[in-house]
Structure 1
Amino acid sequence: MAPTDTQGDAPTSARDQNGDRILAVINYALLLVGIGNGLTVLIAAILAYVRKDNADPLVKNHFQFQIRTFWYWLAMVIVGALTWILLIGMLILLIANIWLVIRSVVGMIRLVDGRPHSDPTGFWV
Structure 2
Amino acid sequence: MAESPLISIDPGSRGNANLIYFLYIVAPVFFQLLALVGVVMAYLGKGKGDALIENHYRNQINIFWKMLLYCVVSALLTFIVIGVLLFLAALVWYIVRIVKGLQALSAGELVENPESWLL
What is the TM-score when the length of structure 1 is the normalising length? 0.82
Q: Which runs of 4+ in 1 moved over 6 A?
A: none
Contact 1:68 1:121 in 2 (8 A): yes
Q: How many residues align?
A: 112
Gaps in structure 2 of 5+ consecutive residues: 3-8
**What is the aligned partner in structure 1 of residue 70 from structure 2?**
76
Alignment correspondent of 2:26: 33
AA matched with 1:80: S
2:11–2:41 CA contact under 8 A, matched in 1: no
Identity %: 32
The answer on whether the counterparts of 2:39 and 2:61 sit within 8 Å (CA) in structure 1 is yes
Rg bigger for which structure? 1
Provide, for residues 77-96 of structure 1, a one-character-per-residue CA deviation record: whole Å limited to 9, x for no partner: 00011111111111111111
* Structure whose residues are more often helix by fraction: 1
What is aligned with 1:107? 101
Could you report, residue by residue, the CA deviation over 1:15-64 in whole angstroms, capped at 9, with x for unpaired residues? x9796210100111111111222111111111101101111110100000
Q: Give me the TM-score of the superposition, normalised by structure 2.
A: 0.86
